Structure 1
Amino acid sequence: MDIPAICILVSIVSGISARFPKSAEGELRHFLLNQENHSPRERPVLNASDTVVVGLKVQFYAMLDLNEKDQVLTTASWLTMTWTDERMSWDPSNFSGVDLIHMYVDEIWTPRIYLSSSLSKDALGIVNSEQGSILLTSNGHVYFGTPAVQAIHCPIIITYFPFDTQHCAFNYIPENLFAHQVDFYIDSSLQPHNLDSNQWDLLNVTLYNWGYPVEEYIEGRDNDHFKLGTLCVHLQRDPTYYITALLPSTCLCVMTFLTFLAPPDCGERISLGVSMVLGLTVFQLLIVDTLPTSSKTPPIIGTYLTATFILASLAVPFSLANIAIAYGDSRLWVLKYSLFRNILLEMLPKIFRMPSYRDRVNSVLDVVKPQPFFNEKDEVSTLSTTEGAPKKNHEAPLPPTLSPPPSPGRHREKLSPSEKVKMEARTVALVVDKLFLTLFIIAFFAVTAYVIILFRQDLGQTKETCWQ
C-alpha cells in the first residue's frame, strides 16, 4: 500500500473517532490499563517492601448437602474480597466525575486465594476469570464479589447422634504469597448466614486469623510463614425425627417384657413374645438405615438399640424355660435344699404379693373341720330315753336328727406326691415370672440411665475442633 492510501485510511479512521468519541468510562479504562507501571501479574504496590492487605468476607446463604457417609459438606455462599491497588487511582474531575468503574478479573491484579479443605478442583480457587466482578473506586480500593459452591471435607463425629454438633472448617490461604507480601485475613464483621436445613440448624460461625509457619519452604529462609483464615461452621442436628422413630422401638421392647405377666399355661405367650421380637427386628432395621456410618466412633444410640434388642430376645428363651418349670413332672433339684425351698415357695411369693405354696395347699385341702355324725350307739341311747319318758297324748317319738353325709371330695386330709410336685412347680413358675419381669425392667432402666448419662456428658459443650 502506497503512502497516499495510508494517509487516506488514517484520515477516515480519525474522522470516525472524532464522530464517535470515547465515553468517560472508556477514557478512564484506557487511562488505567495503559499506564507504564500497570501489570496484572505484579503486586499492586509502588514499593516492593510494602504489604498488600487482603480482606475476605464470607456469607453463607444455603447448605446444599451434608453427606455423613463421605463426610462432605456442600454450601452455597457469596464471597467478597477487598484490597487496595496503589496504581489504579485517578482524579474523578478529569473523567466527568466518574469515581467508580467496573473491571474484569484478568485486567488487574487479583489475589489467588485457595480453599485448602476443598474437595472440588473447580472450587479450589475462589477467584475465577469466568465469574465474579470487580468494582474499582477512584482512591484505588478494589471490591471483588463472586458466588461460590464449595464442597469441603468435614469430619463427622456421630458419637452423640442424634444430639450431636458438627464443626466444619473452611481454610483459606493465599497461593505462594508470604505474610510480608500479602497480609490476608477474614473480615470479622457480622455477616448474616443461613445454613439451616430440614435436619441441621446453624449454631454459630466463628473466625480465626493466624499465621502458619513453614520450615525450609525455601532453602535458607527459616522465618517465612503464610497468613491463613479459618471459618468454622457449627451445626446442630435436629433430633425430633429420630426421637419419634425410637419411641416405637422402646415400646416394643417393654411389651416383650410384659409377656411374663401371662400365666405359664397360656398358649399365646411364646407367640406373643416372638411377634414382639420380630416387630422390633424389622423396626430397628429401618432405624439402622437412617444412622450415619462410622467405624471409629459408633453412636451411643446404636449401643442402646443393641442392648434393648438383646433384652427383648432373651425374654423368649426365659419364658420357654419357665414354661418347662411349670409343666415339670419331677421335683426341681433346687427345692431339695431347705434354703432355696423357703426362698422360692415362701419368701418371694410374699414379696411379690402372691399366694405362697402353703396358701395354695391350704386352699385345696380346705382345713375347716367336718361336723360329727351320729353312730348307732347314739341312736339307741336316744330311743331308749324316749321310750322311758311318759307319753303325752300318745305321741309318736321323734326320729333322731341325722347330719347329711359328706359330699365326696369336699374335705381332703393330704395331697398325693404328684399333686405336690405340680403345685410346687406352678408356684415356682409364677414366682420366677415375677422375678424375671422385675430383673428385665431393672436392666432396661439401667441401660436407659447409662445412655442418658453418656449423652449428658456432651450437653451444652461446643468443641472448637476447627482450631487445630
Structure 2
Amino acid sequence: MVLLINVDEKNQIMQTNVWPTMKWVDYQMRWDPRDYGNIHTIRVPPDKVWLPDIVLFNNADGNYEVSFYSNVVVEYTGEMLWVPPAIYKSSCTIDVEFFPFDEQICAMIFGSWTFNENEVTIKYLMGKRQVELNDYSPSGIWDLMDVPGELIQKKSKIAYQIRIRRKTLFYTVILIIPTVLMAFLSMMVFYLPAEASEKITLAISILLALVVFLLLVSKILPPTSSTIPLMAKYLLMTFVMNIITILVTVIIINIYFRGPTTHTMPSWVKTIFLKHLPMLLMMKRPISSDELERRRSKRKPPGSPTTVKYRPGEFIEMNHARVHHPYCALQHRHNKNEGEDNALLNATTSSAIEQEEVSSAEISALLSEEAIKAIDAIDYITEHLKQDNYYKKVREEWKYVAMVIDRLLLYIFFAVTAGGTMGILFSAPNVFEYVNQTAIIEQLKLSAEAEMIS
C-alpha cells in the first residue's frame, strides 16, 4: 500500500494507491542459465505470459482490473513476479456514529474471477499477513492503524481490513469549537435584561447559525438511518435548547410587562419567586422607587416645613397671606366683600388668642369655598399618587419575578449545556487518544518482518 488517497463518506468509497504483488510458478518458463549466457532473470510483457485474473471484488467504479500492465519478472526457476501499480476505488461502509472521532474499517477483497479454490489457491506472500508499508505516505486526513489480511472462502480470496482513524484537528477547529461556543452563547440570552428586545434577536441568530452547521454535517456524511452521528446529536441538542430558549424568553418578556390591571400575582408566586428563590440564587432585590423616596425624605433640608402650629401673634398678620399652610399658595381674593372677610377673620382671631389651639372645625369654618375645593383636589391627588405607587410596586414585583426566572434558567441551561457537551462529545472511545502515525507504521513494518522470519 502506497497511499490512502481519499475516503468519500458521502458515497462510501475509499480510494487507494496500491501495488498488488503477485507471485506464482509457471513450469513452462523454466530454463538452465548455463544454456542462455548465465541469465537468471528476464522481464517480459504481460501479454506474453499467463497472468492470474486477480481482481478487486468490492470495487465501486466498475474497474475490476489494474489500469497499467507492467512487465513480469521471470526467474529461471519458473517463478513469476508481477507488481502492477493500481488505483482502486473500493466500497466501504461508513460508520458515522462517532463522527468526527470515528474509526473506519474498510475491506479490500481480492480473488480470481474465473478460477475456483481447486484451480488457484491464494497464499500470503512470504508469510506476511500485514500489508507492506515500506513505501507508504501518511495521509493528512486519516491515520492508518492496522492492515491485517485474511484468507476467506477456502483460500480462494484474500481480504485486507484497512483500519483507519480520522484526524480530528480540522473538524475540531471548524465545527466542534464554534458549535460549543454557540451552545454556551445561547444561554447568555438569560443574562440580558428582560426588557431588551435583543434577547429574541440573539436567540434567533444563533438558531440560524445552527441550521447552517446542520446543513454542513448533512453534506459531509451519508444519509444513513442506522445511527445518528455524534456531531449531529450535539447540534440537535443545541438546536432544541435554543428553541426552548426562545419560547421561555417570550414567556419571560410577557411576565416582565405584566401589571395590576391585567394580572394578579398568586401568593405562591410571591412565596417562591420573591422570597425563597432569590435567597437560593444569591440575588439581592433592587431598591424600589418608594424606598428611594423614603430615604430621600429622611434627609430634610434646613427650614423644611413639617408641622403647622398655631401661633396667635403671627395668625393676625395672615389676612392677606396664606391661611393654613405655607405650601398651599392659596390667597384670599380682594373683592367687594374683603372688609367683611377681614372683620370675620379679626373676630375669630381675637377669640383664638385666648385659646392655645384652634379646632379643625373652627379652621374649616375660616376657609373659603375655593380652599375647600383645593383640599379636595389635594385629596384626589394623594389618592392618585397612592394608587400609582401601588401599581408601580406591583409592576416592580412582576419585573423582579422575571429577573429571578432569568437567573434560574441561566443556571439550569448552563448545567444542561455543560453536561450535554461532556456527555455527547466525550462519549467517543478515542476522543482523548493521541495517534503517532510514524510510530504505528514502524510497528506494523516490524510486525510484518517478524511474521516473515517465523
Assess same fold via TM > 0.5.
yes
Post-superposition offset of 1:196 = 3.6
Post-superposition offset of 1:342 = 1.4
Give 1:283-322 correspondences, 5 Å limit: 283-322=213-252
Post-superposition offset of 1:364 = 5.5
- Partner residue in 2 for 1:169: 107
Pairing partner for 2:13 from 46, 54, 72? 72
Is residue 195–residue 202 contact of structure 1 (8 Å, CA) maintained in 2? no
Distance 2:140 2:430 in 1: 26
- In the superposition, relative to structure 1, how do residues 184 and 413 fare at CA in structure 2: closer, same or farther (>3 Å)? same
Post-superposition offset of 1:359 = 7.7
- Of 61-70 and 449-458, deviating more is 449-458
- In the superposition, relative to structure 1, how do residues 319 and 121 fare at CA in structure 2: closer, same or farther (>3 Å)? closer
Of the two structures, which has the highest relative contact order with CA contacts closer than 8 Å and spacing of 6 or more? 2
Post-superposition offset of 1:199 = 2.1
Is residue 169–residue 232 contact of structure 1 (8 Å, CA) maintained in 2? yes
Give 1:134-153 correspondences, 5 Å limit: 134-153=72-91
Distance 1:160 1:359 in 2: 54
Distance 1:137 1:184 in 2: 20
- Partner residue in 1 for 2:361: none
Distance 1:96 1:62 in 2: 40
Post-superposition offset of 1:156 = 0.9
Post-superposition offset of 1:287 = 4.8
Determine whether 1:346 maps to 2:275.
yes
Distance 1:266 1:458 in 2: 40
Distance 1:340 1:332 in 2: 16
Is residue 108–residue 159 contact of structure 2 (8 Å, CA) maintained in 1? yes
* SS of equivalent to 2:98: coil
- Partner residue in 1 for 2:36: 95
Q: Deviations over 1:232-259 (max 9, x none)?
A: 1112111112111232233233223212
Post-superposition offset of 1:162 = 0.6
Q: Which amino acid aligns with 1:136?
A: V
* SS of equivalent to 2:28: coil
* SS of equivalent to 1:353: coil
Post-superposition offset of 1:209 = 2.2
Determine whether 1:441 maps to 2:414.
yes
Post-superposition offset of 1:72 = 1.4
Q: Which amino acid aligns with 1:419?
A: K
Q: Deviations over 1:347-403 (max 9, x none)?
A: 1112222234898875564499799967647x79xxxxxxxxxxxxxxxxxxxxxxx
Q: Which amino acid aligns with 1:63?
A: L
* SS of equivalent to 1:150: strand
- Partner residue in 1 for 2:157: 228
- In the superposition, relative to structure 1, how do residues 114 and 328 fare at CA in structure 2: closer, same or farther (>3 Å)? same
Q: Hey, which of these two has a bigger chunk of helix by percent?
A: 2
Pairing partner for 1:355 from 273, 279, 284? 284
* TM-score scaled by length of structure 1: 0.67
- Partner residue in 1 for 2:189: 259
Distance 1:103 1:310 in 2: 67
- Partner residue in 1 for 2:266: 336
* SS of equivalent to 2:19: strand
Is residue 257–residue 395 contact of structure 2 (8 Å, CA) maintained in 1? yes
Distance 2:161 2:292 in 1: 76
- Partner residue in 1 for 2:331: none
Post-superposition offset of 1:204 = 2.0
* TM-score scaled by length of structure 2: 0.68
Q: Deviations over 1:300-353 (max 9, x none)?
A: 21011111122123322322221211111238978423x432111011112222
Determine whether 1:201 maps to 2:201.
no
Distance 2:413 2:389 in 1: 36
* SS of equivalent to 2:99: coil
- Partner residue in 2 for 1:238: 167
Which 4+ stretches in 1 moved above 6 angstroms? 331-334, 357-361, 367-372, 412-415, 457-460
Q: Which amino acid aligns with 1:327?
A: F
* SS of equivalent to 1:171: strand
- Partner residue in 1 for 2:23: 82
Distance 2:166 2:73 in 1: 39
Q: Which amino acid aligns with 1:172?
A: F
Identity percentage over the alignment?
Answer: 23
Is residue 231–residue 425 contact of structure 2 (8 Å, CA) maintained in 1? no
Distance 1:287 1:195 in 2: 28
Pairing partner for 2:123 from 185, 188, 204? 185
Post-superposition offset of 1:422 = 0.9
Q: Hey, which of these two has a bigger chunk of strand by percent?
A: 1
Is residue 98–residue 428 contact of structure 2 (8 Å, CA) maintained in 1? yes
Question: Which sections of structure 1, spanning at least 5 residues, go unmatched?
Answer: 1-59, 213-224, 381-403, 463-468
Give 1:2-17 correspondences, 5 Å limit: none
* SS of equivalent to 2:20: strand
